[in-house]
Copies of this chain bind each other. A is one copy, B any other.
Amino acid sequence: MVTKPELDHIFNPKSVAIAGVSSKETTLPSQGQRFLQTLLDYGFKGKIYPLNPKGGEILGLKMYPNVKDVPEPVDYVISCIPALAAPQLIKDCAAKGVKVVHLFTSGFSEAGTEEGKQLENELCSLARQSGMRILGPNSAGIYCPKAGLTTRTDFAKESGSVALIAQSGGNYTYTVREGARRGVMFSKAVSYGNAADINETELLEYLAADPDTRVILAYIEGVKNGKLFVQVLREAAKIKPVVVLKGGITESGARAAASHTGVLAGSERVWDNLLRQAGAIRVFSLEELIDMAVTFSYMPLPRGRKTSILGVGGGATVLATDDCTGAGLIVPRLSERIRERIGRLLKEESGTILGNPMDLSLEAWDAGFYQVLSILAEYDAVDLTMVHIPLGLAPYQSSVQHKLWDFLLEEVVKAHRELAKPVILVLHLPSFGEDYEWILNAQRICYEAGIAVYHSIGNAARAVDRFLSYHERKLAGIRG
């Protein structure tokens, strides 16, 4: 069994101090100024204390020369000061009784120098003496919407049930932001950088036991204690889905990872075995990482892999079938009876492929697309339906076309609400700026209605396959 590490406090600070807030006005705000502005704009509910050796004032807040000068308790310190000044800050924080220091600053073990490594070790041993924790170095920070804690103003205010741990700050930012655009809301997200103290294993252990978290996403470049990591990962994966994107799987990629976060990345074969045996869900891109969060957040569990594919465009539909089959789904032939029933709903003139896949011309869609889905929902040989809209193949001009697709979207939403079988939507191949805007809006409508949306047929099919495999493994485990 997993015992929950005591990390609640790092996600729920009552007060935050920011070290290294310059008072200068520059074209681009300094990193310290940005953290300060972000917490203010996002609406952090606790106290905020900017620190600057010269004191003064910024954005209506008093600046303290040292954390020890702050008259009230400080839970959480964000450090944007140069690496060499960090040991003194850590000593001051320990003296003040700070609970966690988030080191945004880089220039430690990832620099590849002996000095960098020693400096990082020094910080850790200084912190350890007082029981204070360190996040980073080289960490973008923590996002916990419930506590009003964030590293970006444009992160969602709304809490959700997906957690993210990411060794890269950029990948953390992308995943949280793009996730929100696809309806994935987060309980907590952490950019953990060099993992000098708080590392992926402890975070995983914590999140496995976290009642606010139902799904865990992880971007990992390397781990220091492989044996312990596997053990914790295995336990975590028994409790909730753990989706892992491993960066640095090739030799050059591993060298890049070493320069990025100072880790030993390990070989592809080792990681592939490790993740599979631990029961994690492995993905190969940031999009796939988010796809899995979308799937676990929105997709009802289909009974199996038998998929009916409906879309616009004969050629697109042929390629969609290849992509689905290639990713492990089954695209079964429809019975003559079903084909006839569907055929009766369509106008005579429409030149459509009426089997599975089905290419319904636009004129046919509005003749009764919901009815097509309802016939398929009754049909035992189909477990789920994938509807795809290849935007760049549109025969009409955007203004006309988007109205037709709005209607199609309504029919899909209706089918999702009223029918018992899963429907997923793929919005792909945008070509115009308006197409992209339409996609952003359509996916919002869909996730609000509870429908999983993807951006390529292959990605959607792989997500469904991984989702089913996860549940098959769970079932086998229970039965075994």
A residues adjacent to B (C-beta < 8 A): 28, 82, 105-107, 110, 138, 154, 166-174, 177-178, 181, 219, 221, 245, 247-253, 255-257, 259-261, 285-286, 312-319, 321-322, 324-326, 330-333, 349, 351, 353-357, 359, 363, 390, 392-397, 400, 429-431, 433, 436-437, 440
Indicate whether A393 sits within 8 Å of B154 (C-beta atoms), given known contacts A28-B363, A260-B317.
no
**A314 touching B353, Cβ below 8 Å:** no
- Measured CB to CB, the closest approach of chain B to A66, in angstroms, equals 22
A177 partner, pick from B312, B333, B431, beta carbons under 8 A? B431
Copies of this protein in the complex? 2
A377: shortest Cβ distance to chain B, in Å? Answer: 20
Return the contact of A260 from the options B110, B181, B315, B393 (Cβ within 8 A): B315
On whether A355 and B256 interact (CB within 8 A), knowing A248-B318, A314-B261, A433-B433, the answer reads yes
Q: Which chain B residues lie closer than 8 Å to A170 at the CB level?
A: 312-316, 390, 393, 395
Write the nearest CB–CB distance from A328 to chain B, whole angstroms.
11
Contact of A168 among B110, B315, B321, B354 (CB under 8 A): B315
A351 and B173 contact, CB distance less than 8 A: no
- A251: chain B residues at CB < 8 Å are 325
- Please determine whether B314 and A169 come into contact, CB atoms closer than 8 angstroms: yes
Query: Which of B82, B256, B332, B394 interacts with A318 by CB under 8 Å?
Result: B256
Question: B349 and A168: CB pair below 8 A?
Answer: no
Closest chain B residue to A106, Cβ basis: B351
In the complex, are the beta carbons of A286 and B178 less than 8 A apart?
Answer: no
Which residue, A105, A317, A354, has most C-beta atoms of chain B within 10 A?
A: A317
How many Å lie between the Cα of A138 and that of B359 in the bound state? Answer: 14
Residue of B nearest to A111 (CB): B351
Q: How far is the CB of A348 from chain B (nearest CB, A)?
A: 9
The interface residues of chain B lying within 8 Å CB-to-CB of A245 are: 319
Q: A105-B351, A168-B313, A247-B315 are in contact. List 15 more A-B contacts (CB 8 A).
A: A138-B351, A169-B314, A171-B313, A171-B315, A174-B316, A174-B429, A177-B392, A249-B322, A250-B325, A252-B332, A259-B354, A259-B355, A260-B318, A260-B359, A430-B436
Q: Which of B247, B321, B353, B356 contacts A250 (CB 8 A)?
A: B321
Task: Point out the residues of chain B lying under 8 angstroms from A315, CB to CB.
Answer: 166-172, 219, 221, 247, 260
Shortest CB distance A232–B (Å): 22
Closest residue to A329 on the B side, CB-wise? B252
Given contacts A174-B393, A255-B333, A256-B355, contact A82 B314 (CB under 8 A): no
User: A470 to nearest B CB, angstroms?
Assistant: 23
Q: A317 to B351, Cβ gap below 8 A?
A: no
Cβ-neighbour of A82 out of B252, B349, B429 (below 8 A): B349
Check B429 against A437 for contact (C-beta < 8 Å).
no
> Could you say which of A110, A315, A316, A440 has the most chain B C-beta atoms within 10 Å of its C-beta?
A315
Q: Which residues of B contact A397 (CB under 8 A)?
A: 154
Closest to A154 in B: B397
Inter-chain CA distance A325–B394, complex, in Å, is 36
- 18 A-B contacts, Cβ less than 8 Å apart? A28-B396, A28-B400, A168-B318, A170-B315, A170-B390, A171-B313, A171-B393, A173-B394, A174-B390, A177-B392, A248-B322, A250-B321, A252-B321, A252-B356, A256-B318, A256-B355, A259-B353, A261-B314
**Contact (Cβ within 8 A) B431 A316:** no
Closest chain B residue, CB of each to CB of A317: B256
Q: Report the minimal beta-carbon distance from A464 to chain B, rounded to whole angstroms.
A: 15
Q: Is the CB of B353 within 8 A of A392?
A: no
Known: A173-B395, A260-B359, A431-B181. A253 touches B286 (CB 8 A): no
